[in-house]
Amino acid sequence: MDRPPADIISEIVSHLGALQETHYGPYKSNLGSYATINRTWQGVIERETFRHIKVEADNLPELISLLSGATSDCRIRSIRALEFQYPTDWMAALTPTQHSERREQERLSNESFSGDMRALFSLLKG
């Protein structure tokens, strides 16, 4: 069976991606499932999938595992936009004891954030 060239597959994938954005709910297609067709499709789908990444701090280990390994270089080079969302919580008026506890929580949160940023930038650096 003849296989279409990568640029044709890329055009098909762009249309599938546009179609995916217009559908919601249980009938929304999963672009990733097309990556199982063959290696050419996998490469095109991964380039499209990894173009714009949104990650929350809790999901950073999952992203690290996705961007590590044999295919990591291609995936990292595909990234054009990366949104990193870090949870913040705001508290109303606090008592002095709560302020002290809050400062300790903020210190731990800052350390965690710094560690997450180091891991993320280290991963992207290669």
Calculate the average pLDDT of the chain. 80
Average pLDDT over residues 30-46: 86
pTM above threshold 0.75: no
Please give the structure tokens belonging to residue 54. 């949104």
Does residue 4 or residue 8 have the better pLDDT? 8
9-44 per-residue burial string, b: 16 or more CB within 10 A, e: under 16? bbeebeeeeeeeeeeeeeeeeeeeebbeeeeebbbb
Average pLDDT over residues 15-30: 68
What's the pLDDT score for residue 93? 65
